[in-house]
């Protein structure tokens, strides 16, 4: 029984010159298959005539089987009847038939097209490797940011060195409308304790998104100091975040969190001013003022719940009074067309 690839390689020897049959060892890993066709091999291959006869026999087989020598079939030739192997052989036969009938198999440019396909496969492999590196890079970036943010929470007292939630962090967990780090800082540094509920409503309005006024902001004396304390607290938090290697611009953070456009309006409305009086105090659209006041009421109720959760009875009462002072008139009417 001759190795199929060994026989086929001799069957396609170049014509037009006298070929020689050489006796060389072939490592088993180089064999891709075996043929069912056998030729007689002399016991002594040292005489040149014996090797030449083998060459003639191989060339004759090449003429007889121009499409290639038939392979040794594991079922019909070797009698193997294992169900799993039979199924695999049938699948292999079907795939080989599909390959033979494929248009590319008969194309004159098959080698070039195969090289293109191989290049495409290589590029796809490179793409998958690059995507994998990107995912690893993004995951590492997320881990670094998570570590840095944990450092911020530790420095601000929201969690301890073991990562256990503290009283300050428990209050921040109940806040989702404004900047929870800044608002809890004001709750725990005593800023709100020094203010009455009208001033509290005014300061908290800075955390509710609203339109930017084109007018120059002039705060009354009752609001100037609280606004300064708010800015100082915002600057402190921004500097802590930057110290913990977070990408934070201190000035931009302070500007984005301290928005006093409606502080005077909210303060006067909380103290009993009419709707006509407060809308004359700003160039912001009336509907925007109403929406802000309603959101502010919801935010104050969040702060009330947060103060209650951490046992700050005075703050809880103050946030409640601030909310009640807003809930009147056209601001909370079911319809504006009355």
- For 198, the token pair is 């009208």
Which residues, other chains included, contact 81 with Cβ-Cβ below 8 Å and sequence gap of 6+?
A: 75
Q: Which of 82-91, 126-135, 245-254 is the most confident on average?
A: 245-254
Confidence tier at 169 by pLDDT (50, 70, 90): very high
> With 80 as the cut, is the pLDDT of residue 337 above it?
no
What number of CA atoms fall less than 13 Å from residue 98's CA on the CB side? 6
> With 80 as the cut, is the pLDDT of residue 107 above it?
no
> With 80 as the cut, is the pLDDT of residue 11 above it?
no
Q: Does pTM surpass 0.75?
A: no
Domain spans of the chain, in order of start: 4-97, 166-332
Q: Which of 16-20, 58-62, 208-212, 315-319 is the most confident on average?
A: 315-319
Q: Which residue has the higher pLDDT, 324 or 99?
A: 324
- For 221, the token pair is 């004396």
> With 70 as the cut, is the pLDDT of residue 7 above it?
no
Residue whose pair of structure tokens reads 């009455």 in the numeric block: 196
How confident is the model over 216-225, as a mean pLDDT? 88
Q: Measured between alpha carbons, how far apart are the two ends of the chain, in Å?
A: 104
How confident is the model over 145-160, as a mean pLDDT? 94
Q: Which residue has the higher pLDDT, 176 or 120?
A: 120
How confident is the model over 304-330, as a mean pLDDT? 95
Which CATH code for domain 166-332? 1.10.3380.30
- For 207, the token pair is 């955390």
**Least confident segment among 3-7, 122-126, 183-187:** 3-7
Cα gap 224→64, rounded to integer Å: 104
Cα gap 306→284, rounded to integer Å: 31
Angle, helix 263-270 to helix 197-204, in steps of 10 degrees? 150
Mean pLDDT of the chain: 86
Confidence tier at 315 by pLDDT (50, 70, 90): very high
Question: What pLDDT was estimated at residue 336?
Answer: 56
**Least confident segment among 1-15, 75-89, 150-164, 288-302:** 1-15
Q: Which residue has the higher pLDDT, 95 or 317?
A: 317
DSSP 174-199: T--SS-HHHHHHHHHTTTGGGS-HHH
> With 90 as the cut, is the pLDDT of residue 311 above it?
yes
Q: Which residue has the higher pLDDT, 124 or 62?
A: 124
> With 50 as the cut, is the pLDDT of residue 325 above it?
yes
Question: What pLDDT was estimated at residue 17?
Answer: 54
Q: Which residue has the higher pLDDT, 261 or 102?
A: 261
Query: DSSP class of residue 272?
Result: T
Question: What pLDDT was estimated at residue 15?
Answer: 46
């Amino acid at each position: 029984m001759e190795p199929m690839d060994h026989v086929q390689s001799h069957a396609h020897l170049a014509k037009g010159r006298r070929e020689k049959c050489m006796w060389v060892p072939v490592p088993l890993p180089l064999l891709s298959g075996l043929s069912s066709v056998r030729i007689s091999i002399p016991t002594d291959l040292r005489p040149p005539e014996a090797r030449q006869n083998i060459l003639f026999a191989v060339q004759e087989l090449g003429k007889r089987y121009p499409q290639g020598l038939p392979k040794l079939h594991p079922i019909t030739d070797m009698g193997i009847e294992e169900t799993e192997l039979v199924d695999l052989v049938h699948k292999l036969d079907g795939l080989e038939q599909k390959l033979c009938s494929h248009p590319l198999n008969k194309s004159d440019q098959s080698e070039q097209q195969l090289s293109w396909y191989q290049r495409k496969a290589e590029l796809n492999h490179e793409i998958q490797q690059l995507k994998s590196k990107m995912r690893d890079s993004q995951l590492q970036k997320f881990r670094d940011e998570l570590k840095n943010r944990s450092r911020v929470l530790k420095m601000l007292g929201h969690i301890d060195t073991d990562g256990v939630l503290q009283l300050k962090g428990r209050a921040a967990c109940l806040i989702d409308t404004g900047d929870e780090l800044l608002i809890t800082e004001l709750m725990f540094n005593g800023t709100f304790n020094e203010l009455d509920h009208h001033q509290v409503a005014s300061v908290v309005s800075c955390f509710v998104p609203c339109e930017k006024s084109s007018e120059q902001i002039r705060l009354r004396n009752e609001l100037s100091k609280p606004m300064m304390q708010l800015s100082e607290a915002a600057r402190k938090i921004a500097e802590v975040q930057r110290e913990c290697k977070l990408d934070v611009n201190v000035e931009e953070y302070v500007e984005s969190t301290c928005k006093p456009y409606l502080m005077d309006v909210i303060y006067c409305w909380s103290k009993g001013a009419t709707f006509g009086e407060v809308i004359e105090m700003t160039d912001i659209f009336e509907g925007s003022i109403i929406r802000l006041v309603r959101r502010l009421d919801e935010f104050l109720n969040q702060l009330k719940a947060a103060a209650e959760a951490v046992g700050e009875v005075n703050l809880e009462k103050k946030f409640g009074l601030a909310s009640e002072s807003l809930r009147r008139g056209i601001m909370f009417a079911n319809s504006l067309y009355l």
